Structure formats: C-alpha cells, structure tokens
C-alpha cells in the first residue's frame, strides 16, 4: 500500500471508553477533516462528554480553505459542547501558541504537549493507548 493511500487520520485505541485519540499523519485536507469530524460525531452519540488526544508528530500542514469553511465551523461548534479535556501532542509551535491564546475563551480544558511529553498527555487524560 502506498503512503498516499493510508488515511491521514488514524484512530488510537485507548483503555478508557470516553477517551478518544487520533494520530494525524500527513496533510489535513478537507476529506481528512471530514473524516475526523465524522469519527468525533460518532463518539458524541454515545457519550455526554469525551476527552480527546490529537497526536501531530507526523503532521505536514493543513488545507486552510477547508479548515475555515462554513461546514467546519458548524462541526467545531458542536464539539465545544462535548469535549471536556483536549490534549494536543507535537505539531508546530504556532499550534501550541494558539491553544494558549484560545484557552481563556473556551470551556474545554486544553493543553499542548511537546512530542517528548506524550506520556504526560496520557497521564493528564488518565488513560493509556492500547497496542493494535
């Protein structure tokens, strides 16, 4: 299988039913974002609140037009009501800076962790990844 055939959003199984985790491998395109929101929507159907970890250690950028489309704003606004804790691991420094800037304005408890702090992110969520 070629690398471009693999999904950009890859689910990381966890040991806690309400903790959802995903690895972003590659560039976040409109299709990848729709896939991520679809996976989250399914989680929202069965949980009043969830905790979320996004691993960006192989992140290659984002399609900004798609990220700020009307559809994405609608999907994000629904997420604000369901996510309790949100950990971001890795990624460029601007992502960590944007989390620090947004944090006071959101009800979500958000934290950014460097790539080498991933274990701390899992501890903060009181969860562990499961091996496939």
Is residue 20 domain-resident?
yes
Range of the domain at 37: 3-124
Tell whether the model's pLDDT for residue 111 goes beyond 90.
yes
Is residue 130 domain-resident?
no
More confident call, 94 vs 21? 21
32: CATH: 3.30.750.24
Is residue 76 domain-resident?
yes
The tens digit of pLDDT for each residue in 58-83 reads: 888 888 887 778 877 777 777 778 99
Is residue 132 domain-resident?
no
**Mean pLDDT of the residues in the chain:** 88
Q: How many domains does the chain have?
A: 1
CA distance 25 to 56: 7
Token pair 């800037």 in the structure block, residue: 101
Is residue 88 domain-resident?
yes
More confident call, 22 vs 101? 22
CA distance 110 to 69: 23
Tell whether the model's pLDDT for residue 130 goes beyond 90.
yes
Helical pair 30-46 and 70-79, crossing angle rounded to 10 deg: 30
Tell whether the model's pLDDT for residue 117 goes beyond 90.
yes
More confident call, 74 vs 15? 15
Is residue 82 domain-resident?
yes
* The overall pTM is greater than 0.85: yes
| Residue 4 confidence (pLDDT) | 57
Is residue 131 domain-resident?
no
């Amino acid at each position: 299988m070629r690398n471009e055939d693999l999904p950009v959003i890859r689910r990381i199984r966890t040991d806690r039913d309400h903790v959802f985790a995903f690895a972003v491998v590659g560039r976040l395109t409109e299709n990848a974002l729709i896939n991520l929101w679809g996976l989250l929507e399914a989680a929202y159907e069965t949980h009043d609140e969830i905790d979320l970890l996004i691993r960006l250690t192989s992140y290659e950028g984002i399609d900004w037009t798609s990220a700020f489309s009307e559809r994405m704003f609608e999907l994000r606004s629904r997420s604000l009501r369901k996510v309790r804790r949100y950990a971001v691991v890795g990624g460029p420094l601007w992502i960590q800076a944007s989390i620090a800037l947004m944090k006071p304005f959101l009800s979500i408890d958000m934290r950014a962790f460097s790539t080498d702090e991933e274990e701390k992110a899992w501890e903060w969520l009181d969860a562990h990844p499961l091996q496939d």
